[in-house]
Amino acid sequence: MMKCQSFIPLFLILHLSAGASSSLTKASGGHWRLLHQNIGISATHMQLLNNDRVVLFDGAHFGPSNLTVPAGNCRRHRRGNKVDCTAHSAEYDVATNTIRPLMINTADDGVWCSSAAVTSDGRGFVRFVQTDGDGNGVEARVRNYNPCSVSNSDSNCVWEVMDVVLAARGHRRFYPTNHVRPSGRHIIIGRGRGSLFTYEFFPKTQSVSSTKLYNLVPFANNNNNVYPFMFLNTDGNIFIFNNNRAILFDFVNNKVVKIYPEIPGGGDPRTYYSSAVLLPLNNLTSNMVVEAEVLICGGAPKGSYSQALKGNFIRASNTCARIKITDPKPKWVIETMPQARVMADMTLLPNGDVLIINGAEAGTAGPNLGRKPVFQPVIYRPNSKYGVGSGFKLQNPSSIPRMYLSTAILLRDGRVLVGGSNPSMNYNFSSGVVFPTELRLEAFSPWYLDEELSNLRPTIIYPPNDTKLGYRQKLTIRFTVVGNGGGGGGSIAKDSVLVTMVSPSYTTNSFSMNHRELVLDPERVAQVVQNVYEVVVTTPPSTNLAPPGFYLLFVIHQEIPSEGIAVMIG
Ligand SMILES: *[C@@H]1O[C@H](CO)[C@@H](O)[C@H](O)[C@H]1NC(C)=O
Ligand SMILES: *[C@@H]1O[C@H](CO)[C@@H](O)[C@H](O)[C@H]1NC(C)=O
Ligand SMILES: *[C@@H]1O[C@H](CO)[C@@H](O)[C@H](O)[C@H]1NC(C)=O
Ligand SMILES: *[C@@H]1O[C@H](CO)[C@@H](O)[C@H](O)[C@H]1NC(C)=O
């Protein structure tokens, strides 16, 4: 639970004089910045790496993109045997705001509708493993992308196809979800529309031909197996949500340990149309069960898809469903959002709030099936003290429709990178389409980045970026706050400080895979010298709470986050 409940720190309210109310309204609304008018491809899939760069890509089968690659780098695509000399992937460098084209060598659709996660390669480095995609005739592949670094210059950090295939022969994955397990291996689940619901692990410990595929019985006859929402529960089991129902699954023993009630509301399907997050985990070091809650927002009522195909664009759902997945008798609690929204993206913010962004008010997910773009994001506070339904706050609007296949991810500096939208599927910029392929890249800066708050904003000075952390370890973090925090006499109140760790997500199709936030309560906050403070926390106690890998660590002061530092745990 975040400690302060109001959007505006109390200190600010007391500090600002009359006439400040307009700036307070502004301070709660955030602001938008257009980063690029044209990055050449539509950012349908995005992942932040530990070097402050974002790998983004689109399908490779849409015809020529607007991003050229060095001469001679052409592919022949299996569909129509066409030669394509453009890039369908790129690396965005946050610091320099530049784009570097990346070639994905595939004769097929390749990376389209894939799953992925960042993992350590065992030497402490971070690598991005991208799995599956629209096989279109080939077995699913694993691709690897090693982030650029001092020892790995730009010319070396390129996409590589690994010498492994996923799943059994003839069993291709499409729209799967990926999650890092406590062991660091991935579980990959789902197989796309109309096929069996199976899972497997990666890396393989056996040869692929002998790889066991497991069938998930409760979902086996479900025909909407697309990007299931999957979260590692704090007990080490995995929560899997598909359509409107969920199970808790023990993947070590291949056993369903719990079946959750269906979301009330007549069986409206949520996956693919909604978005979901695991709410920030608190109280990690108490001896009690660490409680975990899942929030699923928006969607389209049953029948929206077939209606949209006929040109009837039904109003999207304006509800969120929240459930405590660790509860022995869990129940869904329904909350009402200020707007209706289908195909939202949900992103955890460093201070424990949730951003609900992108999407449409009418129609549904799918090519050209959305209408009435929703331009205003919403911030949801999980622990609003005013009770159910009071946690939503509308934010300032963008002017760019972000419909089907748009994305949003958290950056290290606390901004949210927003890209994509390609309802027309083929790169179609023609004015004859309702929503053209979107090549613009934007950033949304939540209220906490407002200039007026810079006096309260912490800056981490120790430990350095890329620090390796163990589990249940005392960690001392040193930070500065220029404006001494308003505590008077240069001190900062212990309960105005939090430390959080957020795992950067792989985001596509309205779902952020592997996204998780851990709230580390301060044990001690002390002033070192003028404007310099130290906070002592305990790192997460187990791999069930924090699977090994790359996280962003933030110091939060009066709900305002510092820039994060990249840390590796495990
Ligand atoms: C943490 O645990 C304590 C003691 O059980 C409880 O009072 C408190 O509400 C919990 N905090 C959160 C954020 O859940
Ligand atoms: C794509 O690139 C071409 C050539 O640079 C340019 O003329 C065209 O306007 C671009 N299209 C879009 C939608 O940016
Ligand atoms: C773009 O959309 C228009 C209108 O539907 C269509 O006529 C055209 O063929 C499309 N172009 C591509 C490249 O898909
Ligand atoms: C982390 O890296 C960023 C970007 O290079 C830098 O601005 C910041 O000072 C670094 N933080 C620490 C604590 O080393």
For the chain, percent of residues with pLDDT exceeding 90: 58
Q: Whose CA is nearest to atom 13 of ligand 2?
A: 429
| Whether residue 38 has its Cβ less than 6 Å from ligand 2 | yes
Q: What are phi and psi of 295, to 5 degrees?
A: -125, 125
Model pLDDT for residues 416-460, shown as the tens digit of each residue: 999 999 988 788 888 788 899 999 999 999 999 999 999 999 999
Instruction: Give the pocket of ligand 3 (CB within 6 Å).
Output: 426, 428, 430, 432-433
Q: Are strands 565-569 and 467-469 parallel, antiparallel or unpaired?
A: parallel
Q: Which atom of ligand 2 is nearest to the CA of 38?
A: 14
Per-residue confidence (pLDDT) for residue 162, from 0 to 100 = 74
Q: Whose CA is nearest to atom 14 of ligand 2?
A: 38
In angstroms, the CA 174 to CA 553 distance is: 33
Model pLDDT for residues 92-105, shown as the tens digit of each residue: 999 999 999 998 87
**Window from 38-42, 177-181, 224-228, 332-336 with minimum mean pLDDT:** 224-228
Report how far apart, in Å, the C-alpha atoms of 156 and of each of 24, 148, 152 are: 47, 7, 6
**Window from 149-153, 507-511, 543-547 with minimum mean pLDDT:** 149-153
Domains of the chain: 4-449 (2.130.10.80), 454-569 (2.60.40.10)
Amino acid present at 373: P
Pocket test residue of 34, 39, 66, 437 for ligand 2, highest count of atoms within 8 A of CB:
66
The 10 Å Cβ neighbour count of residue 522 is 22
| Whether residue 428 has its Cβ less than 6 Å from ligand 2 | no
Per-residue confidence (pLDDT) for residue 308, from 0 to 100 = 96
In angstroms, the CA 143 to CA 132 distance is: 9
**pLDDT tier at 215 (50, 70, 90 boundaries)?**
low
Pocket test residue of 422, 433, 434, 437 for ligand 3, highest count of atoms within 8 A of CB:
433
Report how far ligand 3's centroid is from the alpha carbon of 438 (Å). 15
Q: What are phi and psi of 309, to 5 degrees?
A: -60, -30
Q: Whose CA is nearest to atom 2 of ligand 3?
A: 433
Tokens 């295939």 map to which residue? 165
Nearest ligand to the C-alpha atom of residue 293: 1
For residue 236, give every residue at least 6 positions away whose Cβ sits within 8 Å of its Cβ, in sequence order, or none. 182, 252, 544
| Whether residue 1 has its Cβ less than 6 Å from ligand 1 | yes
Per the CB < 8 A criterion, the answer to whether 504 and 552 are in contact is: yes
Nearest ligand to the C-alpha atom of residue 519: 1
State the DSSP string of 419-479.
EE--TTSS----TTSSSPPP--EEEEE-GGG-GGGTTT-EEEEESPTTEEE-SS-EEEEEE
In angstroms, the CA 42 to CA 407 distance is: 10
Handedness of CA 89, 92, 97, 100 (dihedral sign): negative
Handedness of CA 284, 285, 286, 287 (dihedral sign): positive
